Amino acid sequence: MDTFIQQIINGLVLGSMYALVALGYTMVYGVLNLINFAHGDVLMIGAMTGLTILNILNQHFPDLPGYIKLAIAIGGAVPVCMIVNVIIERVAYRSLRNAPRLAPLITAIGVSTLLNTFAMMIWGRNPLPFPQLLPSDPISIGGALISPTQILLLALALVSMAGLVLLVEKTRMGRAMRATAENPRVAGLMGVDSNKVIIATFALGAALAAVAGVMWGANYASIQFSMGFLPGLKAFCAAVLGGIGNIYGAMLGGIVLGIIESLGAGYIGDLTGGFLGSHYQDIFAFVVLILVLTVRPSGIMGERVADRA
């Protein structure tokens, strides 16, 4: 039973990060009908920027409390990621808004490759250690362990998601975003500037990814230029699982996928008689994606359907 609770906690931690990134995918998809393939790399940029800031802080202000440093790192990573994502939209996607859907996807792949390459050039190819910021003594919950970093991660994710919901439901910009996602043309007729909405969408998604990136680094203590690809992909699977285009779906899908992956990795050995080990953990997300798209394309919360081609 301890293992089970441990897996659930791990799953929640993993799932929160997936949820934050999935939100970015789902929001962009909602307004543009486009999968921003490069979004996972925004997570990486967030982690890298955060690391650079932390290294500077550690060098010049080593006595600052850990959570202050972390706050500054996040505070620095968020605007950087926002700028990066907005630039990507402006340069790569804007002129392709009316092109057949494959064109922006190919461009997105190109952008992702470029982001990876720039990261490789700036930060090098090798894994970089993320400094320890919070006390490492884990707290025990029902026999399972959770570290302060992980608790902070969960808290931050919760706060971010709540903030996003508030923004989307209660503010003018949020209403504009929802309107554009529903029906861009009519929203335009109502005076909504779709360009502003799209920029805001990309910026918000990037902000969430930045938080996830820095916390990813803090949680796993090591980051690398290629770290964005797999989590990004899985976050997309989570968004589809929850119902692409639906913000609550993205959050739910992220958490659920995190738990599935964690439980799966824990029990796959037993399930397959030792044939498949926990290295196969990454497969779960794709299996989930294929199942969802085959059986229930609209996802758990079912808003947008993957059209019959």
Residues making contact with other proteins (CB under 8 A): 34-35, 91-92, 95-96, 99-107, 109-114, 116-117, 120-121, 229-230, 233, 236-237, 240, 274-277, 279-280, 282-283, 285-286, 289-290, 293-294, 306-309
Exposure pattern of 33-63 as b/e (b: 16+ CB <10 Å)? bbbbbbbbbbbbbbbbbbbbbbeebeeeeee
Is residue 23 within 8 Å of 66, Cβ to Cβ?
no
Q: In this complex, which beta carbon is closest to other proteins, that of residue 91 or of residue 159? A: 91
- What are the structure tokens assigned to 71, written together? 């706050």
| Minimum separation from the CB atom of position 21 to other proteins (A) | 14
Q: In this complex, which beta carbon is closest to other proteins, that of residue 17 or of residue 285? A: 285
| Minimum separation from the CB atom of position 92 to other proteins (A) | 6
Q: In this complex, which beta carbon is closest to other proteins, that of residue 69 or of residue 304? A: 304
Show Cβ contacts of residue 82 under 8 Å, excluding neighbours closer than 6 positions. Answer: 202, 203, 206, 207, 210
Is residue 226 within 8 Å of 98, Cβ to Cβ?
no
Is residue 243 within 8 Å of 294, Cβ to Cβ?
no
Q: In this complex, which beta carbon is closest to other proteins, that of residue 141 or of residue 306? A: 306
Q: How many CB atoms lie within 10 A of CB 96?
A: 18
| Minimum separation from the CB atom of position 155 to other proteins (A) | 31
| Minimum separation from the CB atom of position 270 to other proteins (A) | 14
How many residues are recorded in the chain?
Answer: 309
Q: In this complex, which beta carbon is closest to other proteins, that of residue 172 or of residue 275? A: 275
Q: DSSP readout, 187-223?
A: HHHTT--HHHHHHHHHHHHHHHHHHHHHHHHHHHSEE
| Minimum separation from the CB atom of position 102 to other proteins (A) | 5
| Minimum separation from the CB atom of position 152 to other proteins (A) | 31
Q: In this complex, which beta carbon is closest to other proteins, that of residue 125 or of residue 196? A: 125
**Using CA atoms, how far apart are residues 73 and 81, in angstroms rounded to an integer?**
12
| Minimum separation from the CB atom of position 74 to other proteins (A) | 28
Angle, vertex CA 183, rays to CA 181 and CA 188, nearest 5: 100
Q: In this complex, which beta carbon is closest to other proteins, that of residue 140 or of residue 294? A: 294
Q: How far is CA 300 from the centre of its chain?
A: 19
| Minimum separation from the CB atom of position 267 to other proteins (A) | 17
Is residue 45 within 8 Å of 84, Cβ to Cβ?
yes
